Amino acid sequence: MRPERPILRLVSSRHHRYPEQLGFLRGFTAYAVQTSGERSALWYWNGAEPACLEMREVPDGIEVAGDEEVARRIFRTHAPDLLPEEALPAAPPAHRLLYRRYAGIRPVLFANAFEGIAWTILGQQISVAMAARLKHNMAARYGVPIPGGSAWLFPRPDHLLRATVEELRALQLSGAKAATLLSLARDLSEGAWDGARLLEWPTTDAVTFLERFRGVGRWSAEYILLRVFGHTDVLPGGDAALQRAWSRLTGAEAREPELRHAAEAWKGWRSDFAFYLWLDNRAHGTPAGRT
């Protein structure tokens, strides 16, 4: 750790439970995180250079050393204040139960857009464990080892473009996912994705735009908007893990139509609702979907 780096102190409040966000980040298999004692380092690409955020919990929140803009973005410090609990319906009581358990743990974003987009594609139709294995294989083959040698930085788009579909298939990716990742790496290298513009657009327009790209359907577009670009009102309603969580909380069937109907109560904050459902799956030891 390098204590001379600028320190950002994120103070917890009702609207931002930063220590629990940090706990999620430490345990999330899709990130390149090194933890030693009370300190953790999240490694990512900042342009063409490897970078890291050094983080630790403090009594009133967390301290982060590194790029302040990146830290504020991934911890969602500028997210709007929470939906008031009284705005949620009293029935089913699952709405308010979920709120009381997790309100203030805002969705944690990826530090690097391509890494988050690739994680989304890798996770299509398979378990989190298998997606993590594929991501590890790709990072070890095409990425860069981080100091200490315990993990690798996931490759930048230009790194991945050195690969072929056949080489990626040898790492256990399907041919379709391999071709999609190479296509998206090319798109990002050529500037086809403008993150600032995507964040400014209404969610429906952003979903429509993303669905134009190879391998990106509605679920993938919604997940990318939530976890990569920070849209505040998006629900990946086709996510089976979200459906399982809502079914467990309500005791009733919860397929995509029922889940999207339930999410109307969270309009404006549907991203929080989705993230809380993922967190509830993790808390109950059930498959967490693509969190």
- Does a structural domain hold residue 208? yes
pLDDT of residue 195 exceeding 90: no
Q: Considering the domain boundaries, does residue 284 fall inside one?
A: no
Tell me which amino acid residue 168 is.
L
User: Does residue 215 lie within any of the structural domains?
Assistant: yes
- Which residue is associated with the tokens 């993922």? 278
Average pLDDT value over all residues in the chain: 93
**pLDDT tens-digit map of 60-76:** 999 999 999 999 999 99
Band of the pLDDT at 3, cuts 50, 70, 90?
A: very low
Asked whether residue 291 is domain-assigned, the answer is no
Q: Residue 90, Cα to own-chain centre: how many angstroms? A: 29
**Can you tell me the distance from the alpha carbon of 106 to that of 275, in angstroms, rounded to the nearest whole number?**
7
pLDDT tens by residue, 134-169:
999 999 999 999 877 677 899 999 999 999 999 999
Residue 175: inside a domain: yes
The two structure tokens encoding residue 290: 């693509």
Cα separation, 182 vs 205, whole angstroms? 25
| Alpha carbons 181 and 155: distance in angstroms, whole number | 11
Same domain, 49 and 136: no
For residue 279, what are the contacts with CB-CB under 8 A and spacing of at least 6?
A: 24, 101, 102, 105, 291
* 290 pLDDT more than 80: no
Q: What is the pLDDT of residues 182-194, one digit of tens each?
A: 999 999 999 888 8
Q: Are residues 74 and 126 in the same domain?
A: no
Length of the chain equals 291
How confident is the model at residue 1, as a pLDDT?
45
* pTM as predicted: 0.94
What is the CA 264 to chain-centroid distance, rounded? 22
For 97-136, write each residue's pLDDT tens digit: 999 999 999 999 999 999 999 999 999 989 889 999 999 9
Q: Which residues pair with 41 in a beta bridge?
A: 34, 54
Asked if 74 and 117 sit in the same domain, the reply is no
Model confidence at 197, in pLDDT bands (50, 70, 90)?
Answer: confident
Same domain? For 161 and 207 the reply is yes
What does the pLDDT average to over 39-60? 94
Q: Which of 227, 252, 269 is the last residue of a domain?
A: 227
* In contact, 241 and 288? CB cutoff 8 Å: yes
Pairing of strands 144-145, 32-36: unpaired
Domain-located, residue 255? no
The burial of 97, by beta-carbon neighbours within 10 Å (0-12 exposed, 13-18 middle, 19 or more buried), is given as middle
Looking at the structure of the chain, the number of domains it has is 2
Same domain, 137 and 62: no
* Residue 11 shares a structural domain with residue 73: yes
* Contact (Cβ atoms closer than 8 angstroms) between residue 98 and residue 136: no
What six digits make up the tokens of 93? Answer: 């009581």
Domain final residue pick, 34, 56, 78 = 78
Final residue belonging to a domain, choices 177, 197, 227: 227
pLDDT band at 287 (very low <50, low <70, confident <90, very high): low
Residue 235 lies in a domain: no
Structural domain includes residue 171: yes
46 and 149 assigned to the same domain: no
Contact 223, 191 (CB under 8 A): no
CATH of the domain at 183: 1.10.340.30
The angle subtended at Cα 283 by Cα 277 and Cα 284, nearest 5°, is 95
Q: String of b and e for 131-153 (b: at least 16 CB within 10 Å)?
A: bbbbbbbbbebbbeebeeeebbb
Cβ-based neighbours of 59, under 8 Å, separated by 6 or more: none
Check whether the bond before 93 is cis (ω within 30° of 0): no
Residue ranges making up the domain that contains 70: 7-78
- Measured distance CA(47)–CA(233) in Å, rounded: 28
Q: Could you tell me if 205 and 135 lie in one domain?
A: yes
| One domain for residues 58 and 127 | no
